[in-house]
Amino acid sequence: MPTAAKLMSAIALALVAFVASEQFKPLMPEGTDFGYFSFFNAGIAAIIGWKLIGAKAGRGVLSGINGGLTGMIAMVLVVLFVHAFWIMFENSRSLRYDSVSEAIQSIFSMMTENGLLLLRPNILMTLLGGAVFSGLLAEATSRRWR
């Protein structure tokens, strides 16, 4: 059932994902075509914010913060997996892998490489601060509009 807390947490986490995606772009090789990278990540984050953070709203401030952190971790893992899977799919169409297991291993190696880039202080602070903000916003919204 749609609630104001779910809507606000979806919007907040999507905003966090968009800002973090924009901070991530300069870390990639020059000439990388990003297309709708930031908007795609924001869409995934909105779904996760709606499902995870919004669903836990209304249980207290600490639960709101925990929900925000959980949502942020889930968002990062899903976004890393989806992008790594897409790159693997594109590479497999070019016959760059000898076996299925090599293709699957490349997904996790790309997730690890890109995940380590997220450990930059500015991106890490954006993700952590945004997660806490998203959880607290969902909690405040659920208290205000029931």
Predicted TM-score of the model (pTM): 0.91
Task: Give the pair of three-digit tokens for residue 136.
Answer: 């607290």
**For residue 2, what pLDDT is reported?**
86
> Are the C-beta atoms of residues 65 and 48 closer than 8 Å to each other?
no
**pLDDT 10s digits, 43-65:** 999 999 999 998 888 888 999 99
Nearest to 18 by CA among 45, 46, 34, 42: 42
Whether the per-residue pLDDT at 146 is higher than 80: the answer is: no
Residue 16 structural domain: 4-144
- When pLDDT is cut at 50, 70 and 90, the band that residue 86 belongs to is very high
Cα–Cα–Cα angle for 60, 52, 36, rounded to 5 degrees: 135
Count of domains for the chain:
1
- The widest CA-to-CA distance across the chain, in whole angstroms, is 57
Nearest to 69 by CA among 88, 87, 52: 52
**pLDDT 10s digits, 117-142:** 999 999 999 999 999 999 999 999 99
Share of the chain above pLDDT 70, in %: 99
